[in-house]
Structure 1
């Protein structure tokens, strides 16, 4: 893949929710793909106008409400296609207009920009990361500080372990990681950096990983160590 795009980061809020929403823009066509649109529709629409984006695609990492609540308004206004993994759509019963179910390693085209779909179950059964040249958008699979909860509906710590190992094996170390949430580190650290600073990338043994992720008496949901 060659770099034919730019990326815009939006930090959007609703009450105590804070989500990072990303827009990939193909430089030549101005086609855009938005990842996990949530909360502040006006801010998203202002960004689309500011960058002269023709919104073509909505990419869903998983079907939790804080990642999909603006899908329908955006589809209604821009008639964009919505990409979600088949497993996720079936498990959560998520349907919408223009839905396209994707599979592992599928390549999506956004003008001259290629986006690779990477199935990474664990937080949910059909969680998906999206790889675009030097950026990987990881939703709630991999945070800079840790990894997503595995206790929600369809979650699995064992599957999360395998997904983390898959990322470590298949993604080059210079790729920058852009999760949907931040708990201390800003998005955009390289995978190599996280391999030395994120405990879930450091743990190699499967049972140790599972026991640590599922340990009792954690201080709070987002205390990763």
Structure 2
């Protein structure tokens, strides 16, 4: 059974998640950025080997530590092909995949699913009842869709895909510390995330693009259904 260890790093409150398989003492690091030495120090202290680096998307604040960590660890880097194409990352020598993507980490199987919206080729990673959601699903929030390549309509469908594909008790690990709690479950998100209360794609687009940032500010807490 994989376990998730989270480090909050950098000036943008990034969460870097480490998927740990104790049976093989191997680790997959999701979105390594900022203080790479803290990632390496933790793994060394725990006797763990970094064997994979998984990217949820290509924004600088999520990938600025990839090359250093790869050089130090020899880990293989994975991201979606759409994301590599969009951000011009095909010359990095990283492994690009078509979702759904599967990676065996010791006794644990990691599955990557396509979740466009924040970026064209965004991905989330599921392992043993845990869902690492990058900038797609935050605790009681969701990622911006107004940056280059963002698409609020795609985001609406990605969020509902996560709700439909994974069990309510699935634990959510987002890409930033923007909320009143570090993690939640999909059941908690369905009940308290106002983006998931929108009854249609059109309502979601209007709320995400026009109203949300005027009505709420971080740290985000749960919003009861009206």
Identify the TM-score tier after normalising by the shorter chain.
Answer: over 0.9
Q: Following TM superposition, by how much is the alpha carbon of 1:58 offset from its aligned partner in structure 2, in angstroms? A: 0.3
Aligned to 2:154: 159
1:97/1:53 Cα in 2 relative to 1: closer, same or farther (>3 Å)? farther
The whole-number CA distance in structure 2 between the counterparts of 1:32 and 1:40 is 17
1:6 aligns with 2:3: yes
Q: 2:209 aligns with which of 199, 205, 214?
A: 214
Deviation digits for residues 95-151 of structure 1 (CA, Å, limit 9, x no counterpart): 465511122222111121100001000000001000011110000000002100001
Equivalent positions of 1:5-154 (< 5 A) are 5-14=2-11, 17-95=12-90, 97-154=92-149
1:109/1:64 Cα in 2 relative to 1: closer, same or farther (>3 Å)? same
The whole-number CA distance in structure 2 between the counterparts of 1:179 and 1:6 is 15
Shifted more, 96-105 versus 147-156: the winner is 96-105
The whole-number CA distance in structure 1 between the counterparts of 2:179 and 2:142 is 13
Let me know the Cα RMSD of the aligned residues. Answer: 1.8
The whole-number CA distance in structure 1 between the counterparts of 2:109 and 2:134 is 19
Please state whether the residue corresponding to 1:219 is helix, strand or coil: helix
Question: What's the TM-score once normalised by structure 2's chain length?
Answer: 0.92
The whole-number CA distance in structure 1 between the counterparts of 2:94 and 2:155 is 26
The whole-number CA distance in structure 2 between the counterparts of 1:87 and 1:123 is 13
1:54/1:220 Cα in 2 relative to 1: closer, same or farther (>3 Å)? farther
The whole-number CA distance in structure 2 between the counterparts of 1:82 and 1:34 is 9
Q: Following TM superposition, by how much is the alpha carbon of 1:181 offset from its aligned partner in structure 2, in angstroms? A: 0.7
Please state whether the residue corresponding to 2:178 is helix, strand or coil: coil
Count of residue pairs brought into register by the alignment: 220
The whole-number CA distance in structure 1 between the counterparts of 2:62 and 2:55 is 7
Q: Following TM superposition, by how much is the alpha carbon of 1:86 offset from its aligned partner in structure 2, in angstroms? A: 0.3
Q: Following TM superposition, by how much is the alpha carbon of 1:216 offset from its aligned partner in structure 2, in angstroms? A: 5.4
The whole-number CA distance in structure 1 between the counterparts of 2:180 and 2:93 is 35
Q: Following TM superposition, by how much is the alpha carbon of 1:50 offset from its aligned partner in structure 2, in angstroms? A: 1.2
1:90/1:97 Cα in 2 relative to 1: closer, same or farther (>3 Å)? closer
Give the number of the structure whose residues are more often helix, by fraction. Answer: 2
Question: What's the TM-score once normalised by structure 1's chain length?
Answer: 0.92
Q: Following TM superposition, by how much is the alpha carbon of 1:190 offset from its aligned partner in structure 2, in angstroms? A: 0.8
Q: Following TM superposition, by how much is the alpha carbon of 1:185 offset from its aligned partner in structure 2, in angstroms? A: 2.5
